[in-house]
């Protein structure tokens, strides 16, 4: 899981497609648990992800909750059309904050400080 600490307050996580996605999001969740109190806000770059299953969605929701509990933000960037359709069908377009790309996500996080 490529995690890039863009700043002290923001991490960029680049996800690959399945099966790597499941491993990467679980590793990120463990990272948040291990660094309790040091959680950065996060940008999930999902440009390489072409499919999500119910387990993946549960993992995304868990990461969102972990970040919110720590008072941090999450942006999901670069979602493909197929993943976007699935997220909309599940009603998650209203739960997560989406941006078209990583640069826009970083700008939105910086503006909310």
For the stretch 52-91, pLDDT in tens is 999 999 999 999 998 998 889 999 999 999 999 999 999 9
Confidence at 5, pLDDT banded by 50, 70, 90: confident
Cross-strand partners of 10: 41
CA distance 105 to 97: 9
Computed over every residue of the chain, the mean pLDDT equals 89
Torsion angles phi and psi, residue 108, rounded to 5: -65, -35
Confidence at 4, pLDDT banded by 50, 70, 90: confident
Sheet with 97-99, side-by-side order of all strands: 3-5, 10-14, 41-45, 74-77, 97-99
* Mean pLDDT on 28-45: 79
CATH number given to 3-111: 3.30.750.24
Q: What is the pLDDT of residue 78?
A: 96
The first and second tokens of residue 17, run together, are 């497609």
Please state, in angstroms and as integers, the Cα–Cα distance from residue 87 to each residue in 30, 79, 91, following that order: 24, 10, 6
The first and second tokens of residue 110, run together, are 């910086």
* pTM for the full predicted model: 0.90
Q: pLDDT tens across 87-106, in order?
A: 999 999 999 999 999 999 99
- Structural domain boundaries of the chain? 3-111
């Amino acid at each position: 899981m490529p995690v890039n600490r863009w700043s002290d307050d923001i991490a960029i996580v680049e996800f690959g497609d399945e099966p790597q996605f499941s491993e990467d999001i679980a590793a990120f969740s463990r990272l948040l648990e291990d660094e309790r109190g040091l959680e950065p806000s996060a940008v999930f770059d999902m440009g390489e992800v072409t499919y999500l299953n119910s387990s993946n969605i549960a993992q995304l929701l868990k990461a969102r909750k972990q970040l919110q509990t720590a008072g941090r933000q999450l942006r999901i960037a670069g979602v493909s059309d197929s993943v976007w359709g699935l997220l909309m069908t599940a009603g998650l377009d209203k739960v997560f904050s989406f941006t078209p790309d990583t640069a826009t996500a970083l700008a939105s996080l910086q503006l909310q400080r």
